[in-house]
Every structure is written in structure tokens, then in C-alpha cells.
Amino acid sequence: MKTVLINGKIITPMRIIDNGVLAFEGEKISYVGDKKGYPITEEDQVIDVKGQYISPGFIDIHTHGAGGHDFMDGTIEAFLEAAHTHMEHGSTTLIPTTLTSTMEDLFQTLDLFKEAKRQNKGPHLLGLHLEGPYFSMEQRGAQDPKYIKNPEKEEYEKIVAYSPDIVRWTIAPELEGALPMGSALVEKGIVPSIGHSNAVYEDVLKAYEHGYCLMTHFYSGMSTVTRVRGERHAGVIESGYLIDEMFVEVIADGLHLPKSLLQLIYKVKGSDRICLVTDSMRAAGCEEGEYVLGNKETGQPVLVKDGVARLMDESGFAGSVATADRLIRTMIHVAEVPLQEAVKMMTLNPARVMKIDHKTGSLAVGKEADIIAFDDNIHVSKVWVGGTLTKAE
């Protein structure tokens, strides 16, 4: 049986099709276009979305948790429940993210993720993003300094060999050993990303040449212009602008970056090189108050206040409490970006970075039926993951 969505405004990377029709059969999309091009039959299951937008499902390539759960809590429930919370807000593909931790906690997380994927009935769990422990101490942010170190070949090769589920890894590229590590990750199909880094432009350029194609939470935990003996050096932030092909993550919760910087990033990088990410911790989708960033037993206490997670002394942010729908609203209403471009930053662009755009990230015939419907306020009413209806209001 085909499912046919009618009376929708279909969002493509280039335009919005008014009064459009989208059909899918099983897990694949079979038609996208205007209603004149699709003759509905009695066998079709027709769903009237009543003028709502029909969009590709959101792809969040950097999240630490939601719904009161962190992906490093040490339970399968944490993976499944956090993923479910994100799905309720439109995410159909997730990359759960770790924090710097003990090797024991890391390997436990790798084991649990494998089982969570087996039990999962929610959004696609594409793989794991390791955030650390190879970071600049000066740019560590909320990462626990006890575990920060330089890359060692024997160690990271052991981690990569242990699990096939690692799909990206955030590293400070100026550290000794970081450049050959980038090349080694690329050979394994793992995306190396620049983050928590005190690098200068020359370091970043070399990193790009060694496969680093993405910057983790742009502006957060990275260097800007510095002076050495009076001479100015461009930092990681400026390098993100200078290297045209570099993708940048943006936490568009309206707090990590103000309107002026959101608009600057959009003006310079354009809609093709920005990936919106939540970088959410466990409090996403929950009330404000005190929480723990990372594992409940070994993580850091944080305070969720005024719509963002902060270190207890409020000296800096400690992840966001955003869900994907909030990111789209911010880009539209604060950064004044057109809807179809904001959606592309949360769908097609992350799919391109992760090299899955051949099967998801946009609404096209033959791609997976990862589809959501939402209203003018980006309130998500329906979610299909691989053609299966997982949320309906």
C-alpha cells in the first residue's frame, strides 16, 4: 500500500511546492510534486496534512541526550528514551555524542550503543560521535580536564578497532599526533572534526588537508585572532570562514550565538556549509533546574536556566537544551533565513557531511521515507521514520 500525503507545502532544498503531493511505499519515496502529476487510487492510504509543511526529517549530528537521559548514563534506556524525545521534535536521524571520560566509560558506551541500535524503534541511530578526549586544555569548555590528552596512535586505533559504530570524532588538530589521526580516520570512513581547539590558521589548513572537513559547535571552544610578539594570527573561527569548503556546526538556540553572529555565519558560509546541531544535554525537553552533564555518577553538575545549560558558577555554557524544531525557529525568526534554507541546514547539509545524502536528507524519489509534518510555528505533528509512522497528532 502506498501512503500519499496531500494538501501540503513540500520543502525541497531549492523551493517550497504549494499544495503538493508526496507518496511513499514501504521505506522509499515514490513521488514528490504537484497534485496534477499524481493520480490517487482507491488502494492509496491518503493523509491530508491540511496545509502544513512536509519536510525531510531532521538530522542531528551532535547531541548528548534529552528527556532526562544522557548517552553516557550507562544504560540502553538512556539511548532509546533520549532518541524518542528528539524524534518527538522532528529528528529522524541522530548521532549520539560522548564526552571526555574514562576509557572504561567510553567502551561501555560503545557496547551499549550496539545493543540500543538492535532494540531501537525510533529515529535512525547512525553511529557515535566521540567528542574528545584529544582537546586543547585552554579550549576545553565544559569537558572534564582530568581526561584531556594528546592523541596516541595505539590508543585511538584500539578504540576504532573495537567498534564499527564510530562515525565522527572531534579533535583539536594542533595537538601532536592529530594530523595523522585525521588521515587514519578518513581511511576508516570516520569524519574528523575540529573542536575545542586553540589552533591558528596554518594548523587548520593542514588539518583540512588531512581530512578535517567540519568544525564542531562553531565559535564555542575555539580560538579567534591572537597576538604573538605583536603579530596577529587568525584562529579557528577565522579559518572556518577562510576555507570555503569547510562545514560548520551552529547551535542555533538563540543563546550560544546572537543574531549578529548567526547572520554573519549565514552571510559568509551560505546555506550549503552550515549544519544546525542541538549539542543538547539531558535537560532537552525537560524543566529547568540542576542536572548532570555526562554520566550521572561521574559527570559535571550544571544549571539549566533561562533556556540554556550553564556551568554551576555560570561562567560558561555546558551544552544546550534545544531540540531541532527550536533551531529552525531561531534561524527563521532571529537570523531571518528563509525556511527552505534553514531546513536544508538541518537535513541535507548534515547528510552530505556524513555521506548519507544519497539515501536521506531531502525529499526525492528513491530516498528513504524519513518525513515530518509541521505548522507555521514548526510544531511537529507527524513523523515517519523509514516509512513507519512514529508520531501522529
> Phi and psi for 187 in degrees, rounded to 5?
-60, -30
Q: Is 279 a catalytic residue?
A: yes
Distance of alpha carbon 249 from alpha carbon 215, whole angstroms: 6
Give the residue extent of every domain in the chain.
2-55+364-392, 58-353
Q: Which residue has the cell 521515507?
A: 369
Tell me, what's the pLDDT at 229? 87
CA nearest neighbour of 212 among 183, 239, 241: 183
Q: What are the residues whose beta carbons fall under 8 Å from the beta carbon of 54, sequence distance 6 or more?
A: 5, 8, 9, 10, 11, 20, 22, 363, 371, 372, 373
Distance of alpha carbon 277 from alpha carbon 351, whole angstroms: 12
Tell me, what's the pLDDT at 17? 97
CA nearest neighbour of 324 among 120, 28, 95, 170: 95
pLDDT-flagged residues of the chain (< 70): none
Tell me, what's the pLDDT at 294? 83
Tell me, what's the pLDDT at 51? 97
Active site residue: 279, 325, 357, 370, which one?
279
Q: Can you read off the three cell numbers belonging to residue 103?
A: 576509557
Superfamily of domain 58-353: Metal-dependent hydrolases (3.20.20.140)
> Phi and psi for 268 in degrees, rounded to 5?
-85, -50
Q: What is the largest CA-CA distance in the chain?
A: 77
Per residue in 239-270, pLDDT (tens digit) is 999 999 999 999 999 999 999 999 999 999 99
Return the CATH class of domain 2-55+364-392: mainly beta
